Amino acid sequence: MSKAEESADVAASVAEQPFIGQRLPRKEDRRFVIGKGRFTDDISVPGMLHAAFVRSPHAHARIRSIDTEAALKLPGVVAVITGRELAEFTSPFVCQQEGAAPMEMDALPVDKARFAGDPVACVVAVDRYVAEDGVDLVEVDWDALPPVLDMHHASDPGVPLVDEKIPSNLHTRETHRYGDIDGAFARADRVVKAEFRSQRLTHVPIETRSVVATWDEGREELTYYGAAQTAHILRTTLADRLGLSENQVRVVSPDVGGGFGLKLPLFREEFTVAAMAMRLKRPIKWVEDRLENLTASNHARDDAVSVEVAVLNDGTVLGVRANLWADFGAYAFYPPSYIINVIGWLLLGAYKIDNYEYTVNVAITNKCPAGTLRAPMAIVTWASDGMMHRVAEELGLDPFELRRKNMLSLDDQPYQSAPGYPYEALTLREGFDETLAKFDIDAFRREQADAAEKGRLIGVGIASVVEPTTYGSAWYKASGDDGSGHEAATVKLEPTGAINVTAGIVGTGQGYETSLAQVVADALGSSPANVDVRLGDTYIAPYGMGSRGSRGAAAGHGVAYLAAMDLREKVLGIGAHLLQRPAESLKIVNDEVVTRSDVGVSVPVREIARIAYNDPTSLPDGMLPGLEAHRTYDPPFMTFSNATHLCQVEVDAETGGVTIVKYRVHEDAGTLINPMIVDGQVHGGVSMGIGQVLLEETRYDEQGMNVSATLADYLMPTMDTVPMIEVEHLETPNPNTPQGIKGMAEGPVQGAVASVALAVQDAVARSGGRLEQLPFTPSRLLGVLRASRSG
């Protein structure tokens, strides 16, 4: 069978499934709309204490001493602990990166604070009000050091080391080369340069970080309630660093008020709370306040891409040379090169380019540590599409024609990108054509020229998104980073016929309780109403790799589907025995095993379940009792989805304000489990991308103080800045994943960053403006317009 036929085959089998593909309203909604969700801060345990943290007021300062006496005297304060004391009974986190110095992070810093907001002591008290009073009474004797704040000069002579255990503040510098890059540049008619720089951002889930840790003295067991996108990995780390066995730790991730990649690692505050719960043998809660969240959780996106593109005069792109920089902040929660490397291997985007070289540079600075914010590689599509526009501009060619000429289509696939990534079933050129078929670009250009006559600036941007969704364990092996991409699920048909499902993925708002029920219901011929999904509790869920990237659909739902199919086989085996028919002639429909041909011959699944549990001697010879299936699944090396985004804007030449007039997405995430949920993911991702281009920015002053520490200073997209987002789907199944599922969730951020940035650039291009640094705030836009007017 050809790949295309295989895809068609998958599509046909998916069409038979009653629930996969349905816009089913979510099962979990009810508890949220009536105010009965159960988030971490809603958990309260008898005898519970509350923690608050003493934080560094300096960007970089040695801790001479910490005086806790006054705090300890305050009525209601139970304990105060410093990094030095914690280090006596906890182990540091060691972040390994192949070919680079490992970076260590203590529970709390012992000798030195490395950024403004760095936690250095923890006060535990009867309530949070008293704990915060206690924080004010802790006296730290600081010896301030010069802060390292500029990534490009972090390793200049005389600059102090941020992490004194590594040889340089320039933690990573490595070059990757593919094809004949020198030859490409030698043959080029010209070399076009472009820059794309992002500001520092942060996640801002509306629910901040929070934890409740309890120590069961009888069982000698720690229970950790807290948002954990990767609950099992967190359990392993907790046990390891607390000197516990992994079966002495239970992680429970209750309802989570948004994760966006923030609620992944074991943070120091949460770890300290767990360690203190053990030490004091008392439950402890910590809920971060918004100031802490904006200044001291994780930041992201502080990166820059500069490219040189070797081209022929006809618009053929021969090769690309890129230099990538990232400011990783003060500590390594992740291997420092990991995120910027994704930009590296993805930078060629939708285009067929054979010769490529990229260098990554990662600096450690006195800023809040970097983490993985939804689409860590967010600027990559802006860079790959943006560089093609620069090429077109310099060659005097039509940018959309030039992009189309170099763009991958289905006919080119399977295709291997220069850095070795497999592209399959991606509708890049097809989506681009579809978008342009619905948007009359020539008419728009006329409108734009007319508008310009009247002093109005309008522009359009189109982004071609390649989104890596699901990393297989082979990817981890090849990248040199420790880890796996497999996932696990357990499906149980209980004696009454009710179905329970669990898996290693952990929801933070994606509607898994509905979409997992849909795939399992289809596999078992049941209905989503009959399927209950429990995630995030390591007592219940099998060890999986959790929710990060966009792996939930292909890995998490893929494995649940496969487990349910294993169980289906057993159900049909029992049905065959009872009905005296071959199993191949049977199917399950509406919770009954029926024959494909004879009407009236059937047995309810409930009866099969009863026999499996309560009358096992009636099972076929040799079959074991019970109805449960557990399995794991390791997805391919890398799965991609793709999308085309179109954004139309108007820039107010007087105020510099940007209005988004139209926003349309053609998404191709392969087989969709619940298109309503996918639409919601597109809306949310686009909104975040709009925030990155127009509004959000984490700012530090020259002393390294965070000056965007409230939601009045850190501007998130509001209802009046985000337009209605139109979404259409192409559904090209991936031939290598269960049911052809590809997944998505980060691509919409990439697409919005690119399409909004390109649209604004298009709007100011006539006046000679060039935009290379996000965000495009009114003052920056006015500056650019003014400069181009006077220049």
Partner 1 sequence: MTAPKPRTIQVTVNGETITASVPDRKLLCDFLREDLSLTGTHVGCEHGVCGACTVLVEGRPARSCLMLAVQADGRAITTIEGVSGPDGSLHPVQRAFHEQHALQCGFCTPGFIISTIAYLEERDPSAGPVSEDEVREHLSGTLCRCTGYTNIVRAVCQAAAELSES
For partner 1, the closer CB: 618 or 718: 718
For ligand FES, the closer CB: 512 or 776: 512
Site residues for ligand FES, 47-86, by CB under 6 A, read none
**By CB under 8 A, residue 720 contacts partner 1:** yes
**By CB under 8 A, residue 724 contacts partner 1:** yes
Residue 778, preceding bond cis, omega within 30 degrees?
Answer: no
Select the residue interacting with partner 1 from 1, 443, 599, 712 (CB under 8 A): 712
Site residues for partner 1, 281-340, by CB under 8 A, read 287, 289-290
Q: List C-alpha distances in Å: 112 to 103, 136, 266, 298.
A: 15, 20, 20, 19
Contacts with 15 (C-beta within 8 Å, 6 or more apart), sequence order:
21
For partner 1, the closer CB: 106 or 207: 207
**By CB under 8 A, residue 46 contacts partner 1:** no
**By CB under 8 A, residue 205 contacts partner 1:** yes
**By CB under 6 A, residue 509 contacts ligand FES:** yes
Select the residue interacting with ligand FES from 37, 57, 258, 723 (CB under 6 A): 258
Sheet holding 61-67, edge to edge: 112-113, 61-67, 139-144
Q: Which single residue is written with the structure tokens 């509905």?
A: 514
Minimum Å gap between C-beta 294 and ligand FES is: 13
410, 425 contact by CB (below 8 A):
yes
Minimum Å gap between C-beta 257 and partner 1 is: 3
**By CB under 8 A, residue 730 contacts partner 1:** no
**By CB under 6 A, residue 685 contacts ligand FES:** no
Minimum Å gap between C-beta 644 and partner 1 is: 18
The item of ligand FES, partner 1, none sharing an interface with residue 712, based on CB under 5 to 8 Å by kind, is partner 1
For partner 1, the closer CB: 178 or 225: 225
The item of ligand FES, partner 1, none sharing an interface with residue 32, based on CB under 5 to 8 Å by kind, is partner 1
DSSP string covering 578-614: HHTS-GGGEEEETTEEEESS-TT-EEEHHHHHHHHHH
Size of site (CB under 8 A) for partner 1: 63
Q: Which single residue is written with the structure tokens 């299936």?
A: 629
For ligand FES, the closer CB: 347 or 677: 677
For ligand FES, the closer CB: 423 or 714: 714
How far apart (Å, rounded) are the C-alpha atoms in residues 562 and 503?
12
The DSSP letter of residue 412 is G
Helix, strand, coil shares of the chain as percentages rounded to 5?
Answer: 35, 25, 40
How far apart (Å, rounded) are the C-alpha atoms in residues 631 and 761?
50
Minimum Å gap between C-beta 293 and partner 1 is: 9
For ligand FES, the closer CB: 207 or 303: 207
Minimum Å gap between C-beta 75 and partner 1 is: 6
Select the residue interacting with partner 1 from 4, 8, 15, 30 (CB under 8 A): 30
Select the residue interacting with partner 1 from 65, 718, 773, 779 (CB under 8 A): 718
Cα 438-444-445 angle, rounded to 5 deg:
135
514, 677 contact by CB (below 8 A):
yes
Question: What beta strand segments (E) does 97-227 contain?
Answer: 103-105, 112-113, 119-125, 139-144, 170-178, 190-197, 201-202, 210-216, 221-226
The item of partner 1, ligand FES, none sharing an interface with residue 216, based on CB under 5 to 8 Å by kind, is none
The item of ligand FES, partner 1, none sharing an interface with residue 439, based on CB under 5 to 8 Å by kind, is none
**By CB under 8 A, residue 728 contacts partner 1:** no
Minimum Å gap between C-beta 685 and ligand FES is: 13
**By CB under 6 A, residue 680 contacts ligand FES:** no
703, 147 contact by CB (below 8 A):
yes
How far apart (Å, rounded) are the C-alpha atoms in residues 359 and 345?
11
**By CB under 8 A, residue 34 contacts partner 1:** yes
Region of 2-10, 237-245, 348-356, 721-729 interacting with partner 1 (CB under 8 A): 721-729
The item of partner 1, ligand FES, none sharing an interface with residue 775, based on CB under 5 to 8 Å by kind, is none
The item of partner 1, ligand FES, none sharing an interface with residue 133, based on CB under 5 to 8 Å by kind, is partner 1
For residue 593, report the phi and psi dihedrals to the nearest 5 degrees: -85, 120
192, 391 contact by CB (below 8 A):
yes
Minimum Å gap between C-beta 130 and ligand FES is: 21
The item of partner 1, ligand FES, none sharing an interface with residue 256, based on CB under 5 to 8 Å by kind, is partner 1
Minimum Å gap between C-beta 24 and ligand FES is: 18
81, 121 contact by CB (below 8 A):
yes
Minimum Å gap between C-beta 518 and partner 1 is: 14
Q: Which single residue is written with the structure tokens 């809040």?
A: 368
Residue 354: CB atoms within 10 A of its CB come to 16
Q: Say whether 12 sits in a helix, a strand or coil.
A: helix
For ligand FES, the closer CB: 206 or 624: 206
**By CB under 6 A, residue 33 contacts ligand FES:** no
How far apart (Å, rounded) are the C-alpha atoms in residues 6 and 1?
6
For residue 556, report the phi and psi dihedrals to the nearest 5 degrees: -70, -45
110, 118 contact by CB (below 8 A):
no
CB burial readout 178-214, b (16+ within 10 A) else e: bbebeebbeebeebbebbbbbbbbbbbbebbbbbbbb
Minimum Å gap between C-beta 371 and ligand FES is: 19
Select the residue interacting with partner 1 from 474, 680, 703, 788 (CB under 8 A): 680
- What is the pattern of x (binds ligand FES, CB under 6 A) and - over residues 353-392? ----------------------------------------
365, 375 contact by CB (below 8 A):
no
Select the residue interacting with partner 1 from 118, 133, 385, 430 (CB under 8 A): 133
Contacts with 713 (C-beta within 8 Å, 6 or more apart), sequence order:
707
Minimum Å gap between C-beta 509 and ligand FES is: 5
Select the residue interacting with ligand FES from 12, 34, 206, 599 (CB under 6 A): 206
Angle of helix 399-406 relative to helix 428-437, nearest 10 degrees, comes to: 150
Residue with smallest beta-carbon separation from ligand FES: 206
Residue 62: CB atoms within 10 A of its CB come to 14
The item of partner 1, ligand FES, none sharing an interface with residue 74, based on CB under 5 to 8 Å by kind, is partner 1
For partner 1, the closer CB: 9 or 726: 726
Put residue 730 in one of left, alpha, beta given phi > 0 → left and psi -120 to 50 → alpha.
beta
The item of partner 1, ligand FES, none sharing an interface with residue 505, based on CB under 5 to 8 Å by kind, is none
How far apart (Å, rounded) are the C-alpha atoms in residues 636 and 779?
46
For partner 1, the closer CB: 24 or 523: 24
In the chain, the amino acid numbered 747 is G
- What is the pattern of x (binds partner 1, CB under 8 A) and - over residues 482-521? --------------------------xxxx----------
Cα 760-761-766 angle, rounded to 5 deg:
110
For ligand FES, the closer CB: 392 or 688: 688
Q: In the complex, which residues of this chain contact ligand FES (CB under 6 A)?
A: 206, 258, 509
Q: In the complex, which residues of this chain contact partner 1 (CB under 8 A)?
A: 25-26, 28-39, 41-42, 44, 74-76, 129, 133, 137, 203-208, 255-258, 260, 287, 289-290, 508-511, 676-677, 679-680, 682-688, 710-712, 716-720, 722, 724-725
